A and B are shown apart, each in its own frame.
Chain A
Amino acid sequence: MTLADVAGADSAANESVVAKRLLPALDEARVAAHAVEQLDVRAAAKGDARAFERLYRAHVGKVYGLCWRLCDGDAAKADQAAQDAFVRAWEKLGSFRGESAFGTWLHRLTVNVVLGEHRLLKRWTTFEDAEQAGAPEPCHHPSASLGDRMDVERALTRLPKGARAVLVLHDLEGWRHDEIAAATGIAVGTSKAQLHRARKLMKEWLS
């Protein structure tokens, strides 16, 4: 065993000790944060705008990110959609029963707001507009560099609305097809077909 091996073993052992000490503390912090959020949800449901502002600050990143992707990367539309989603959340907080996490509930509500509550997506079942729009400017290496991420974002915005919505919800947000179908009003088979075609288009554009 070399000195480096010993040092490596020591380092790994130290990391393990640190992890053992830190993980319970992290769990406790997570539980505490959840409890605080629950209190804020209850207070906001009773009309406490300050509590609702704390919920806004905690979730605006994810909500806005989702809106931005579902709105063609259009910042003005995403601003409006995110505001609409939070206003709708404020109005509907009384019906939130805590069966899921507040963030999950808010995410679903946001999708409903952005997708026009089942109406718009029914018109998004064709890919004709994608073919008319043509491919985005090609990128050379679809890796994780900043420039390439921009290309991936640009390719995403070129996808037809329905295909982009399904791709974002399934591959980025981790939704299942049945959940997408329930939220958008399209059939499960349509959701799968949209995903398949969206991936194919993205691969073509990014290769």
Chain B
Amino acid sequence: MKQEVEQSEGRLPVLDALARERLPARDLWVGIEARISTPQAVASRPSQWRAYALAASVSVAVLAGVLLREQSPADPRASGMPELTVAALPAEPSTAQTPYSHVEGMARSSAALSARSLRTLRSESLDNAPAMVAERADGSSGLLKATYSAAGIGRNSHSQQAILRANLKLVSQAEREVRRALRSDPESASLQGLLKVAEDKRAVLTSLLVHEPD
């Protein structure tokens, strides 16, 4: 307060006489209208449909995750493998205020569900196999990171492979949508976080599929 008073004390009185407003010599609207009418300008606007498309793809991913979970043994510990711990997704206190908050909320719940699905899938895949599974949480991001041993993974049914591929497709689609949304709002921290989650999930699914025989 004191500093602001001091700052205002040194203010130049001549500046008060200056007009705040000034009109351009020509009408700028013509140029602005031409620029906002281009398909590129229209496409760069954050639109509701894009958010809904992302929400839809995420919800399908959730559904697929739930189906996958139902097909797996109810308790992964029954397979004799140690239960894997899943790192919590990072909390985003500002998400409630973002235009994509509903999408992000779904994505986070989807990520948690899918992580559980992956856990049961891995336990099932490794059943009766001497595979080593290591999973760790990245301390800085809190995001799920997993490494797998190729041994033992490969006894899944065709239906599980299909579900894995379907999940991968959906996650990739969600990732594309987030990237598109980021192009219109590159500074959005929440969208960047969401992209990271989608990338990590895609990496996990890809690594599972790589080890799957066709």
Q: Is the CB of A79 within 8 A of B22?
A: no
Instruction: List residues 162-208 of chain B with CB under 8 A from any CB of chain A.
Output: 184-185
Contacts of B18 in A (CB 8 A): 149, 152-153, 172
The docked-state distance in angstroms from the alpha carbon of A75 to that of B22 is 11
Is A65 close to B, CB under 8 A? Answer: yes
Q: Is the CB of A49 within 8 A of B47?
A: no
Contacts of A176 in B (CB 8 A): 4
Q: Is the CB of B41 within 8 A of A60?
A: no
The B contact surface, by secondary structure, is loop
Neighbour of A192 across the interface among B7, B12, B44, CB < 8 A: B7
Given known pairs A95-B46, A192-B7, A206-B14, the reply for A86 and B28 (CB within 8 Å) is yes
B152 to chain A minimum Cβ distance, whole angstroms, is 48
Given known pairs A149-B18, A172-B15, the reply for A199 and B10 (CB within 8 Å) is yes
Q: Is the CB of A94 within 8 A of B99?
A: yes
Instruction: List residues 119-174 of chain A with CB under 8 A from any CB of chain B.
Output: 142-144, 148-149, 152-153, 167, 170-173
B-contact 0/1 string along A19-51, CB 8 Å cutoff: 000000000000000000000000000010100
Chain B residue at smallest Cβ distance from A199: B10
Chain A residue at smallest Cβ distance from B100: A95
Q: Is the CB of A94 within 8 A of B45?
A: yes
A187 to chain B minimum Cβ distance, whole angstroms, is 14
Contacts of A91 in B (CB 8 A): 41, 44-45, 184
The docked-state distance in angstroms from the alpha carbon of A94 to that of B149 is 46
Is B214 close to A, CB under 8 A? Answer: no
A-contact 0/1 string along B23-52, CB 8 Å cutoff: 111101101110111000110111100000
Contacts of A93 in B (CB 8 A): 45
Q: Is the CB of B19 within 8 A of A65?
A: yes
Contacts of B25 in A (CB 8 A): 75, 79
Is B157 close to A, CB under 8 A? Answer: no
Is A90 close to B, CB under 8 A? Answer: yes
The docked-state distance in angstroms from the alpha carbon of A52 to that of B14 is 35
Is B2 close to A, CB under 8 A? Answer: no
The docked-state distance in angstroms from the alpha carbon of A143 to that of B48 is 53
Neighbour of A62 across the interface among B20, B31, B97, CB < 8 A: B20
The docked-state distance in angstroms from the alpha carbon of A131 to that of B18 is 24
Q: Is the CB of A171 within 8 A of B12?
A: yes
Contacts of A61 in B (CB 8 A): 21-23
Chain A residue at smallest Cβ distance from B15: A171
Contacts of A12 in B (CB 8 A): none
Contacts of B14 in A (CB 8 A): 142-144, 148-149, 152, 202, 206
The docked-state distance in angstroms from the alpha carbon of A64 to that of B31 is 14
B-contact 0/1 string along A161-197, CB 8 Å cutoff: 0000001001111001100000000000000100110
Q: Is the CB of B24 within 8 A of A82?
A: yes
A152 to chain B minimum Cβ distance, whole angstroms, is 5
Q: Is the CB of A94 within 8 A of B47?
A: yes
Given known pairs A61-B21, A206-B14, the reply for A90 and B28 (CB within 8 Å) is no
Neighbour of B29 across the interface among A56, A62, A196, A206, CB < 8 A: A56
Q: Is the CB of B10 within 8 A of A196?
A: yes
The docked-state distance in angstroms from the alpha carbon of A68 to that of B42 is 28
Pull 24 A–B residue pairs with CB atoms less than 8 Å apart, ordered by A: A49-B33, A52-B36, A56-B32, A60-B23, A60-B28, A64-B22, A64-B24, A75-B24, A75-B25, A83-B32, A87-B35, A87-B41, A90-B41, A91-B41, A91-B44, A94-B45, A94-B46, A94-B99, A167-B15, A177-B7, A202-B12, A203-B12, A206-B12, A206-B14
B-side residues, CB < 8 A to A, are 3-4, 7, 10-12, 14-26, 28-29, 31-33, 35-37, 41-42, 44-47, 97, 99, 184-185
Closest 5 CB pairs between A and B? A61-B21, A144-B17, A65-B22, A94-B46, A90-B36
Beyond A87-B36, A172-B18, list 11 extra A-B contacts (CB 8 Å). Answer: A60-B24, A61-B23, A62-B20, A91-B184, A94-B46, A148-B14, A149-B18, A153-B18, A171-B11, A176-B4, A192-B3
